[in-house]
Amino acid sequence: MNPSLRREYLAALRLETWAVRGTAASASPQRVAAPADSPADMARQPVAAPQAAVPNAGVARDVSAGREAGLDWPELQARVAGCTRCTLCNTRTQTVFGVGNRQAQWLIVGEAPGAEEDRRGEPFVGRAGQLLNSMLRAIGLTREQVYIANVLKCRPPGNRDPTAGEAAECLPYLEQQIALLKPKVLLAVGRIAAQNLLHTDLTLGRLRQQVHRFGLSQVPLVATYHPAYLLRTPADKRKAWEDLKFAREVCARV
């Protein structure tokens, strides 16, 4: 069996292997909106073009083997709304499915809804969401052009980190969103999102500035800092800006 396919099957069975992948990115051009001015506090720095082949931190699960495979958008949304697969259903106000353009080339994936998101039913609507919007604008994208979702569809009480069990129960929903959306690039914002999507314990510092691949579809995945972290650590906005430009380059090469 083709070694790459074998790894995917193993990953689908959660018998994950760790290997350096050498998948070359194709080079067909893609339309990207002209970059707008970045926010004043986001430093401009040139960034090297993404490498054609870079090591992958891990192989995510087989999208086609997901529990929700075959569901369309309304079916998936209804299943999420009624989900009782973990105890977060007891404390949530409502599920937070995701929002945005279903033809989007970019899928932004965060960690989990916070208090404001739990109240309003939409991801990234609090202060972190406002910064995320600014970050997107800085690379010429509006919130309406992208799709935004989280690893978890329900708020963990007190905004604690998701448990491994909660993430495992919830990830099939995101996998089916990805299967339906077929984005050109997946931007994982924050360590928790990146680690859960890539099934790795590597730090964000190790994961950023590389092209990872997600699932059988091999969607390119780029990791960057969480906007909530950037609100606390503005000095790292410059690195986030580099990551976003990197992701834009990756998207343009798909």
Which listed residue (97, 124, 214, 246) binds ligand URA by CB under 6 A?
124
By CB under 6 A, which span of 106-114, 134-142, 217-225, 231-239 interacts with ligand URA? 106-114
d(CA 56, CA 119): 36
What string marks each residue from 228 to 247 as x (binds ligand URA by CB under 6 A) or -? x-------------------
Q: What dihedral angle (degrees, nearest 10) is formed by the CA atoms of 130, 133, 137, 142?
A: -140
Residue 133 lies near ligand URA (rule: CB under 6 A): no
Residue 5 burial (CB < 10 Å; 0-12/13-18/19+)? exposed
Residue 10 burial (CB < 10 Å; 0-12/13-18/19+)? middle
- The identity of residue 200, as a single letter, is T
Residue 110 lies near ligand URA (rule: CB under 6 A): yes
Could you say which residues in the range 183-202 bind ligand URA, by CB under 6 A? Answer: 190
What DSSP designation does 105 have?
A: S
In what helix (H) or strand (E) does residue 149 lie, and over which residues does it extend?
strand 147-150
Q: Which of 117, 243 has the CB closer to ligand URA?
A: 117
Which listed residue (38, 95, 134, 150) binds ligand URA by CB under 6 A?
150
What string marks each residue from 63 to 102 as x (binds ligand URA by CB under 6 A) or -? ----------------------------------------
Q: Please measure the distance between the N-terminal and C-terminal CA atoms of the chain and give it in whole angstroms.
A: 26
d(CA 215, CA 9): 10
Residue 111 lies near ligand URA (rule: CB under 6 A): yes
| Total chain residues near ligand URA (CB under 6 A) | 12
Residue 162 lies near ligand URA (rule: CB under 6 A): no
Q: Which residues bind ligand URA (CB under 6 A)?
A: 110-114, 117, 123-124, 128, 150, 190, 228
